[in-house]
Structure 1
Amino acid sequence: MLNEYYEQIEALILDITLIGLFLLMGYVVHDLLKKNNVPAIGKAVVYFVLFLGAAGFIFKGIMQYIIEH
């Protein structure tokens, strides 16, 4: 039974790992910005760039789902 769902399990674990990595990166960036007293505009730019990276993976997942189905 596990062999039948191997690809789905692998894709799910990959997605969970990517979510975890982006959350960890967000925490690290937040900590660095807080410790270095970065101005609000700098924080906004950094968070926007981090969001764009995450949005790219989300968009890729959506497109992959659309193409496969």
Structure 2
Amino acid sequence: MLVEHLELIEAIGLNLFFLFIFGFIGLSIYDVMNRNDVPRMGKVVVYFVLFLGCAGFIAKGIIQFIWESQGVG
């Protein structure tokens, strides 16, 4: 049973790892910006860039899922 689903378990684990890493990076950035009194516009730009990184991984996952379901990859 475990050997049959090893690839799925690895994919889920990797996605959870990325979720944890992005969350940890977000909390670290939040702490650094609050300690240094960063202006509101600077915070918006930093969080937007962090969001774009997360959105890239999400888009990659969706594209990969679609391609694999159609037999492309």
SS of alignment partner, residue 45 of structure 2: helix
Q: Aligned residue for 1:8? A: 8
Aligned length: 69
Structure 1 vs Structure 2 CA RMSD: 0.3
2:34 maps to 34
Give 1:23 deviation, angstroms: 0.3
Give the gaps of 5 or more residues in structure 2.
Answer: none
For 1:37, the aligned partner's letter is: D
CA distance in 1, matches of 2:35, 2:62: 36
Q: Distance in 2 between matches of 1:27 and 1:40?
A: 16
Over the matched positions of the two proteins, sequence identity in percent amounts to: 51
TM-score by length of 2: 0.94
**TM-score calculated relative to the size of structure 1:** 0.99
**5+ residue gaps, structure 1:** none
CA offset digits 1:16-63 (Å, max 9, x no partner): 000000000000000000000000000000000000000000000000
Match for residue 47 of structure 2? 47
SS of 2:4 mapped into structure 1: coil
Higher relative contact order (CA 8 A, sep 6+): 1
Q: Which SS does the other structure have where 2:2 is aligned?
A: coil
